[in-house]
Structure 1
Amino acid sequence: MALKVKEVSQLAGISVRTLHHYDEIGLLRPDAVTEAGYRMYSDHDMERLQQILFFRELGFSLKEIRRILDSPAFDRLEALELQRRMLEEKMAHTRRMIANIDHSIQHAKGEVTMTNEQRFEGIDFTNNPYEQEARERWGDAAIDESKRKLARRTDTPERQAELRQEWDTRMSVLAEARHEDPASPRAQEVIGEWYAFLDNFGTYSYEAFAGLGQMYVQDERFTKNIDKYGEGLAAFMCEAMGIYAGNHGVEG
């Protein structure tokens, strides 16, 4: 069944304006437009949109995504399998960074000591075992653009330290707001800042953002790490993130 643009927006967790932009640049043109001018998206269009969002999450530019998807050699199943492996590696890398941050917190509290080598454990952005496979499938330009997005934030030890400090600062701000109503303007303001922060490292859909919030309370490792900044912070963030996503068209 064909879907209208608003329905697609709600399903995918992206704005109507974004869908219009994708149409304008030829990235996602709906299969049909009614006489009244309504865009109608088919199942094929939805499959293409799914691919666009997966590639965005991996840091690909819209220009490169269009080139990849429009290539006669593009294989959707092959792409899904490789995207899954790349995202698994990205998730493992994030967990290593979180472990490093936890260790750094303990060091800052005087509970343990850290060597300079330990300060940078898990912060290697150069080694992804699936990068060469991705280059062979989609070309050097696409992968280089993806890597540049993160490298701009972590290309020196100083910037890596700044990133760790920014993470710590943002979590402290969230902890200060955790006693607010999660739907209050203040709570939604700091959660919006958290969304913008995470979006710097791989574009988040609002649906994915809400899902991440649920992980904060469903995975005890996340809960333990987050609640170090303030008891009940993980639960507050989960609820506030769900409300934030809902305010942007994602049903809870």
Structure 2
Amino acid sequence: MDDALPQRPTPTPMPAAAEAPARGDDCTVGAAARLLGVSVRALHHWDAIGLLTPSGRSWSGYRLYSDADLDRAQQILVYRETGMGLAAIGELLDGAPATAAEHLVEQRRLLSERISRLTRMVRVIDTMMEAETMGNHMSGAERARAWHGQWSEEYAAQAEERWGGTDDWAESERRKAAMTLDDWQRAADEAKRLEADLADAMRRGVAPGSQEANALAERHREELNRWFDVTVPKQVLIAHGYVDDQRFTDHYDAEEKGLAAWIKEIIDASALAQGVDPGSVTWE
């Protein structure tokens, strides 16, 4: 009879990918990465900087992400899409408590702003592509020569600050992209003649609301129509900018002192004659 003790079965090693049973729906870093659509490296980095620390560990030391951890990860991913940096996201999420609905409202606002910025960038790119395709690319120096230094890039910067991002601005950019150097020269010459005629009428004491003043106001609107379709309300708002923005005031008053305010007056009077209240217009 063999007196040797029976051998105890050797335990079968647990595969490296297996885990001890997780608490509830907790999942490992690999499973969390797959659910979220990010890399394991990203989750490790978020853990290292304290942005997203998993709530638990398995008995073997594996990170375990709870449902609340995954919710926070989703918040991080959405805020990242708004262009916010990780540090700022951490401060936001760790700051004053916010409900899921409040986060959604803020995320929608930020994403809408980013969409608007990107849309403006696309419009600029489209305009540049159109100009290059048509062979009508003009440098800033060429535009400055055409306008004799009157408006050039400074005027463009002022206009973009006020109207950039609107459909009318995009239309203006499309029209400018199709203009030749001769077109720019003609536009500059006609604008200078209009300003000279406006200054002359002011010096002669032409009264706002008179037939001559109304004709000049309409000629002013037609000049603006070169760049985009300008309604009377739009013309009124543009003219208000001549006195609200010192840069525009300085430009017109260099031609004749008080000209900017006088142009606004004749445009307001012309609008009233056409049934438009200058005090309640909107951009339409």
Shorter-normalised TM-score: what interval? 0.3 to 0.5
TM-score (normalised: structure 1) = 0.44
Of the two, which has the highest radius of gyration? Answer: 2
